[in-house]
Amino acid sequence: MTASQTAEIAGLYRYPIKGLTPEALLRVPLRSGQTLPADRRYAIENGPSGFDPDAPEWKPKIQFLMLARNERLAALDGRFEDATNRLTIRKEGQIVASGDLETAAGRAAIEAYFTENFQPELKGPPKVLSGRDHSFSDVARKVVSIINLDSVRAIEAMLGGTAVNPLRFRANLYVKGWPAWSELDLVGQTLAIGQARLKVVKRIVRCPATNVDPVTAKRDLEIPPTLSRHLGHMDCGIYAEVVADGEIGVGDAVAVEQPRLV
């Protein structure tokens, strides 16, 4: 990819509760070394993980309810309110649980729903974990995940024309304008979005969560094996670390920054 091949942000999302509903955004501030505000701020512990909110450390996703194993999560519509820290969960349009995730009573209300409705997946009492400034990401680093929409279109072709909802990939940024798979060669490079700068640090290896339709909650595709057969790897998307502050939004250009000549 050359620096002239500029992409555009076509979609911007955060996921306040790991495994639950994506929240579409129009604009968002980025801070150096941080995720999108409140992205993966909470998780639902599936059995004791040893997570200590006073000394938060990264834990593997198998410690939490997650789409890779618990596809029924996709049938829930979760809405998080920043001002009140309230999570409201609906199923088929009806409120099934609601609570302030920063209070014991509010967390208990959410936990009661999962205790009653997520057997036999539970390995122990479900517990809402608050990370404060921690992010329950799939990787230990605080990152922004990016998906190239042309790569998603390429996957559709691999699947014989089957439509693939890009939200299966649960990215923060969905971009258009890059050739399919060219983003995988950006590791080590810096992306410029307005004043913000993001350094690409890692390819994303896809897991079975991408097999789950985010609308129907059905496990109806085999995306990682399809990638492996066609490409020899299961990578789709990139992780980037914010290295300079700035506000970004839908419609903004995403450019590959040229290194300065000294």
The model's pLDDT over 122-137, given as tens digits with 9 standing for 90+, comes to 999 999 999 778 999 9
> According to the model, what pLDDT value does residue 3 have?
43
The tokens 């390819």 sit on which residue? 203
Please give the share of the chain, as a percent, with pLDDT higher than 90: 92
Helix H or strand E segment including 242: strand 235-244
Model confidence over 24-34: pLDDT tens digits?
Answer: 999 999 999 99
- CA distance linking residue 99 with residue 85, whole number of Å: 8
Average pLDDT over every residue of 188-211: 97
Could you give the C-alpha distances from 49 to 53, 98, 128, in angstroms and in order? Answer: 12, 24, 12
Q: pTM for the complete prediction?
A: 0.94
| Cα-only R_g, the chain | 18
- Single-letter code of the amino acid located at 129: L
When the pLDDT of each residue in the chain is averaged and rounded to a whole number, the result is 95
Q: Where are the beta strands (DSSP E) in 92-207?
A: 94-100, 126-130, 144-148, 173-176, 190-193, 196-205
Residues 6+ apart with CB under 8 A from 60: none
> For residue 186, how many other CB atoms are within 10 A of its CB?
20
**pLDDT beyond 90 at 261:** no
pLDDT band at 6 (very low <50, low <70, confident <90, very high): confident
